[in-house]
Amino acid sequence: MNILAELQNRFRASLAGIGDDPTELVAMVRPSQDPKFGDYQANFAMPLGKRLGRPPRDVAAEIVAKLSVDDFCDPPQVEGPGFINLRLKTSWLAAAVERALASDRLGIEPAAVPRTYVVDYSAPNVAKPMHVGHIRSTVIGDSLKRTLRFLGHRVIADNHIGDWGTQFGMIIYGYKHFLDRAAYQSKAVEELGRLYRLVNRLVGYHEGQETLPKLREQLSAQRAEVAKAAKTPPLGDKGADKNAAKALRRAESISKELASSLAALETSLAEVDRDPALSALARRHPEIARAVLAETAKLHQGDPENLRLWREFLPPCLADIERIYLRLGVTFDYTLGESFYHDRLESVVDDLLRSGIARVSDGAACVFLAGQTTPLIIRKQDGAFLYGTTDLATIEYRVQTWSPDAILYVVDHRQSLHFEQLFAAARAWGYKDLELQHISFGTVLGDDGRPFKTRSGDTVGLGGLLDEAVRRAHQVVSQGDDAKPGGAEISPERRQQIAEVVGIGALKYADLAQNRTSDYMFSYDRMLAMNGNTATYMQYAYARVLSIFSKGEVDAGALRASGAGVDLAHPVERALALSLLQFSEALDQAVAEYRPNFLTAYLFEVANRYSSFFEQCPVLKAPSEASRASRLLLCDLTARTLRQGLELLGIQVVDKM
């Protein structure tokens, strides 16, 4: 059951006739922050008293008098300005633990009104290897999928891969001009990746050549402005001088920015110039940017040769990505990429134009939206469609196919403007009852606070990232095992398996534990720390619980069936029990805001309270047979809660580590 929800129901009844909107008031019932205020508290008496023009404590007393909770709470206390503090009866808590133990869902009821969700996450570009930027979308989306599904909702996990864009034009162009056939035959994906990078680089080189003089011009103009501003003597007027100083600072910072991007461009151009082979290629392919677009356009128009190549490239690329998912334990129900929607795009544009939602401006079909300075463009001047077009077609398809109540897009925050526009356009198009959510998240940063890159400045491949996490986890596991008092007890093969679980778990947990909206500073050392809020600590706590059962030769199932009861005599037993019973609340919270870090915070609390309990309450050597059984039952529920919670994060446990 959900204790908080039950309390809110009781308060709702006692508020009848007093407030005008009990829902709003009832939302002010919540777990207490400090145990001395009880287990839960209601905070609505103060605003309500204000509204009614009565002393809040009187209002609180009146509501308490009408409140019926004596079946599971001690008498409520009114304290301070009008807080209503509630403390659960310990005997009731014990009985609730027994009920949770008997349930294969740990006492968590499925949602009363199941909804249908489409969760759109991961979405890599098929033509490029997955990199560090894909972690967050993949891991957060997968966790949301698991959690919503556990709560009884219908969830469609759809990987909207990029399999139809300019990247394929690049690969096709590369294939036609630069292919190393032997390499392609032995390692197709690697060779395609090389071709992509090569073509991308050549395109960038020529574009850079074009922008270089412009950039230089801009920089010198900006520097002149700075010099002029710096020379202007103060006027003596305080306000004017302040503004002048501000303008100077701004000009300087723009100038600095221009200088650094110019330097970066010059470096990358010089790299090509210094490499004779590369610069020869660049000279031989001056029109490469246009040619790449032409290859893409031919593909989209159904050119047999390009279509054949696309069909040839796709399977090995997908297989490569699939290997990563397999390792991460991430699955999808559908993988409907951009190409899937290709033949629907034209009718989307026609429909929007016909209904007047879109109009042609500067030759492009645009949806102009209230309060937006830029339109959502759905067809370019040259007739090509954009990802906004595909996204609209995708919404249409998803609604037709699954009639979802909500679509969640787990995509980084830089695309927030795009989604704002997309959602507004979709609503204008008629999708008004559909919940459209951009589940945005911040950038993965390195130790230096800059976007996470390798030392040489390349993006970090996801495969290599996983290898490194597992390698480090292996060290941690081996050291721990070697240091055991009775000597090492885990075989080399098993160590490797455990390292995989610990390494991948650490990687996922570190990401999920953070509020997704902020940037995330990546650190192997932090995420594999043995204590603190990490997967490793949680997995360790789990393994410790299990070791009690094996040491005591206790079978958890038999114990549950034995009819033994739970008794919460010690304060830490009670605290642990309360936490265990709040699993349902943590899940509701995580889902309400699509934020897995509420779940990690909850699991960390459980693990901490278990550790305190473990320290202070001997289990196998408990003072009595009844106490031993009761404590074992608490251990059992702790282990199952940790395992279930971690599973909803997509993290596995091991029984020894």
Nearer to RNA, 188 or 386 (CB): 386
Q: Quick one: CA dihedral 293, 298, 304, 307, positive or negative?
A: positive
Of 29-37, 227-235, 461-469, 640-648, the window that binds RNA (rule: CB under 7 A) is 29-37
Shortest distance in whole angstroms from residue 50 CB to RNA: 5
CA 549 to CA 529: how far, in whole Å? 26
Q: Cβ closer to RNA: 33 or 400? A: 33
Three-state SS annotation for 362-417: CCEEEECCCCCCCCEEEECCCCCECHHHHHHHHHHHHHHHHCCCEEEEEEEHHHHH
298: which residues sit within 8 A by CB, 6+ positions away? 305, 306
Our finding on whether 344 is near RNA (CB under 7 A) is no
Strand partners for 84 = 42, 78
Residues in region 454-483 near RNA by CB under 7 A: 476-477, 480-481, 483
Q: How far apart are CA 383 and CA 565, in angstroms?
A: 72
* Binding residues for RNA restricted to 86-125, rule: CB under 7 A: 125
Instruction: Note whether 126 binds RNA by CB under 7 A.
Output: no
- Per DSSP, 233 falls in state P
Exactly one of 151, 269, 377, 407 binds RNA (CB under 7 A); that residue is 377
| Structure-token pair, residue 307 | 């279509």
Q: Tokens representing 554?
A: 């206790």
| Binding to RNA in span 548-587, by CB under 7 A | 548, 551-552
Nearer to RNA, 128 or 146 (CB): 128
Stretch that binds RNA, among 9-17, 80-88, 277-285, 325-333 (CB under 7 A): 80-88
Residue choice 5, 215, 294, 601 for contact with RNA (CB under 7 A):
601
Segment 149 to 168, residues that bind RNA, using CB under 7 A: 162, 165-166
Q: Is 543 in the site for RNA (CB under 7 A)?
A: yes
Contact 182, 265 (CB under 8 A): no
Restricted to residues 244-263, the positions that interact with RNA (CB under 7 A) are 246, 249-250, 253
Of positions 83, 313, 340, 583, contacts RNA by CB under 7 A: 83
Residue choice 227, 530, 561, 626 for contact with RNA (CB under 7 A): 530
Token representation of residue 144: 């949301």
Dump the DSSP string for 525-578.
HHHT-SSSSSHHHHHHHHHHHHHHHHHTT--HHHHHHTT------SHHHHHHHH
> Does an H or E element contain 521, and which?
strand 520-521
**Looking at 524, 529, 560, 627, which residue binds RNA (CB under 7 A)?**
529
Q: Please state the closest distance from residue 390 (CB atom) to RNA, in A.
A: 7
Give the span between the Cα atoms of 210 and 213, in whole angstroms. Answer: 7
CB of 390 or CB of 630, closer to RNA: 390
Of 574, 616, 472, give the one whose Cα is nearest residue 97: 574
CA 76 to chain centre: 39
Site string for RNA, 496-525 (x = CB under 7 A): -----------------xxx-xxxxx----
Burial of 50 (0-12, 13-18, 19+ CB in 10 A): exposed
For the bound state, the minimum distance from the C-beta of residue 538 to RNA, rounded and expressed in Å, comes to: 11
Site residues (CB under 7 A) for RNA, limited to 384-423:
384, 386-387, 390, 413-418
CA distance 188 to 311: 13
The reply on whether position 606 binds RNA by CB under 7 A is: no
> Rounded CA gap, 474 and 232, in Å?
63
Nearest distance from C-beta of residue 276 to RNA, angstroms: 30
Question: For residues 609-648, which are near RNA according to CB under 7 A?
Answer: 611-612, 614-615, 617-621
* Per rule CB under 7 A, count of chain residues that contact RNA: 101
Give the shortest CB-479-to-RNA separation in angstroms.
Answer: 7
The residue (of 220 and 518) whose beta carbon lies closer to RNA is: 518
Could you say which of 604, 606, 639, 644 contacts RNA (CB under 7 A)? 604
Closer by beta carbon to RNA, 424 or else 620 = 620
Can you tell me which of 122, 159, 597, 630 binds RNA, judged by CB under 7 A?
597
